[in-house]
Amino acid sequence: MEIKQNHKSLEYELIIEKINRALEEDSIDLFRSEFLELHPYDQANIFINLPKEIRLQIYTYLSPDEMSEIIEHFELENVGEIITEMNPRFAAQIFDELSTDDAVDIMNTLERNQIASYLTLMNREEAREIKNLLHYEERTAGSIMTTEYVVVNQNMTIRQAMLHLREKAPDAETIYYVFVTDDDKRLVGVISLRDLIISEEEWIVSDIMSERVVYASAGDDQESIAKLMRDYDFLALPVVDFKKHLLGIITVDDILDVMDEEASDDYSKLAAVTDMDRNDLSAVDAAKKRLPWLIILLFLGMITASLIGQFEQTIEQVALLAVFIPLIAGMAGNTGTQALAVTVRGIATGDAMSEGVLKRLLRESLTGFITGITCGAVIILIVVVWQGVDQIFLGLVVGISIMASLIVATIAGAFLPLLMHKIKIDPAVASGPFITTINDIISVIIYFGLATMFMEYLS
């Protein structure tokens, strides 16, 4: 089976052809000379599209260290299958080479008996560090931090610190920040690599370090960590325990993964879908994920249907009213979803809280009023042109209903996620389908309530 070509350059196509030939001829030297010239991201794209029998062949061509660089570029949901098809000892050696946080992320996708097996086969020190991180709750600072960082004592000279940095740098995740601890291993400062380089060798670390260190606690939520690193433009953030002992660091590449994960999670909730980013689900599994939400929405939709049934007599007298039900409900759902999306985004960035709840609700109310007035006026004009001047009261009922529905829907779309955030529930749960269904109910009540009130004019 040939490798898929995802790039357009002639040079890349030639490399792919040579790799295919090397695999067919079982030529290790040719394969290594061409394959290892590629960036690990390209290697991962090639590798993941190969059939299992070819992947098993490649495992004999590459070292655990080379394979670990490829695995770092896999999507997390694909890694479990790849790891479990390897020889367990080879897989354990790969875990030894991976950065601790990446190894923990992968192990969290495996069964407990598999984790125990790999930890038993691993280097004892590496296994111990991974075990420590596996104890932290998922989506917390502790679960995404790495223990591979450079730390120096505050009493060291700059010369001693530089010698220590040279010794530890090969295994460190990043060396741009060097964290400083006291004799009790408590975090007391940070030095940039630049400051270390330009300082005199006989100076003491404590004299040049910055004592204003921003840090995270091991139990902090990963989304709050992402905001913190974004706001301060950090490349790395230290993680401490309740006594301020340095436990590890979170690097910017980990935060990019977190931001992607959180964005995907929020988008899934807004669509009332779980595991939206998984492409390996069968049709049956995908249906199982979606059905619970759809069943809930079905029952909510029955409320709308029963409300319309309550106004059956009104519809019988003026059948034309039924024509505008989808229009009014749809407009209310759309504007509510818009307000919801803007508010959820504001909560995620922190803008909603800094602006103030009342100010945001007032602004959304004004927005709903302006859009409601405009859309109401337009629909009145349309009804008059379409049905004639004698149906002006029908136009007014529809127009006023749209205006009121848009105002209420906008306020509801803004208020609901703010309320959920206040009571510590993920505001994205106030998903688009839910807010749409709620606004359907509100708009139906407003529309038929007004129609019933002005029935004598409509008839």
Using the 3D structure, point to which of 252, 269, 293 is the last residue of a domain: 252
Whole-number pLDDT of residue 299: 76
Whole-number pLDDT of residue 325: 79
- Asked if 158 and 199 touch (Cβ cutoff 8 Å), the reply is yes
Q: Pick the more confident residue, 416 or 304.
A: 416
Whole-number pLDDT of residue 80: 82
| Burial tier of 171 (Cβ tally within 10 Å: 0-12, 13-18, 19+) | exposed
Do 363 and 289 share a structural domain? yes
Angle at the Cα of 438 from the Cα atoms of 435 and 443, rounded to 5 degrees: 115
Q: Pick the more confident residue, 302 or 281.
A: 302
pLDDT at 274 over 60: no
pLDDT in tens, 152-205: 999 999 999 999 999 988 888 888 889 999 999 999 999 999 999 999 999 999
Do 175 and 36 share a structural domain? no
Do 342 and 209 share a structural domain? no
Do 155 and 113 share a structural domain? no
Do 106 and 53 share a structural domain? yes
Do 162 and 82 share a structural domain? no
Lowest mean pLDDT among 7-11, 99-103, 339-343: 7-11
Residue 75 forms part of a structural domain: yes
Identify the helix (H) or strand (E) that includes residue 192: strand 187-192
pLDDT at 348 over 80: no
Q: Determine the structural domain holding residue 20 and report its residue range.
A: 10-136
Phi, psi of 151 (to 5 degrees): -130, 140
Distance CA 410, CA 439 (A): 9
For residue 130, the domain's CATH number is: 1.25.60.10
Structure tokens, 364: 């959304």
Structure tokens, 269: 């909730």
Q: Pick the more confident residue, 165 or 437.
A: 165
Strand partners, 249: 146, 238
Distance CA 181, CA 193 (A): 16
Whole-number pLDDT of residue 1: 39
pLDDT in tens, 276-294: 555 555 677 667 766 776 6
Phi, psi of 118 (to 5 degrees): -65, -40
Residue 442 forms part of a structural domain: yes
Q: Pick the more confident residue, 245 or 325.
A: 245
Residue 272 forms part of a structural domain: no
pLDDT confidence tier of residue 208, bands split at 50, 70 and 90 = very high
Whole-number pLDDT of residue 156: 94
- Check residue 245 and report its DSSP letter: B
Whole-number pLDDT of residue 214: 92
Residue 141 forms part of a structural domain: no
Do 443 and 301 share a structural domain? yes
pLDDT confidence tier of residue 267, bands split at 50, 70 and 90 = low
For residue 334, the domain's CATH number is: 1.10.357.20
Do 417 and 298 share a structural domain? yes
- Asked if 370 and 339 touch (Cβ cutoff 8 Å), the reply is no
Whole-number pLDDT of residue 62: 92
pLDDT confidence tier of residue 363, bands split at 50, 70 and 90 = confident
| Burial tier of 377 (Cβ tally within 10 Å: 0-12, 13-18, 19+) | middle
Lowest mean pLDDT among 258-262, 341-345, 362-366, 391-395: 258-262
Distance CA 39, CA 324 (A): 58
Dihedral of the CA atoms 248, 88, 77, 229 (nearest 10)?
10
Residue 262 forms part of a structural domain: no
pLDDT confidence tier of residue 4, bands split at 50, 70 and 90 = very low
pLDDT confidence tier of residue 353, bands split at 50, 70 and 90 = low
Whole-number pLDDT of residue 101: 84
For residue 187, the domain's CATH number is: 3.10.580.10
DSSP state letters, 253-298 = HHHHHHHHHHHHHHHHHHTT-SSTT-S---HHHHHHHHHHHHHHHH
pLDDT at 273 over 60: no
Residue 2 forms part of a structural domain: no
Say whether 153 sits in a helix, a strand or coil. Answer: strand
Do 244 and 328 share a structural domain? no
Say whether 310 sits in a helix, a strand or coil. Answer: helix
Whole-number pLDDT of residue 293: 66
Using the 3D structure, point to which of 229, 252, 275 is the last residue of a domain: 252
Do 128 and 156 share a structural domain? no
Q: Pick the more confident residue, 342 or 427.
A: 342
Cα distances (Å, whole numbers) of residue 31 to 25, 47, 101: 10, 13, 30
Phi, psi of 117 (to 5 degrees): -65, -45
Distance CA 254, CA 141 (A): 10
Quick one: average pLDDT of 329-357?
76
Do 344 and 247 share a structural domain? no
pLDDT in tens, 93-148: 999 999 888 888 889 888 889 999 999 999 998 899 888 888 888 888 888 898 88
Number of domains in the chain: 3
pLDDT at 366 over 80: yes
Whole-number pLDDT of residue 2: 43
Do 310 and 162 share a structural domain? no
Distance CA 376, CA 370 (A): 10
- Cβ-proximal residues to 392 (8 Å cutoff; 6+ apart), any chain: 380, 384
pLDDT at 209 over 90: yes
* Averaged pLDDT score across all residues of the chain: 82
Say whether 210 sits in a helix, a strand or coil. Answer: strand
- For β-strands 177-181 and 151-153, DSSP reports them as parallel
- Cβ-proximal residues to 259 (8 Å cutoff; 6+ apart), any chain: 226
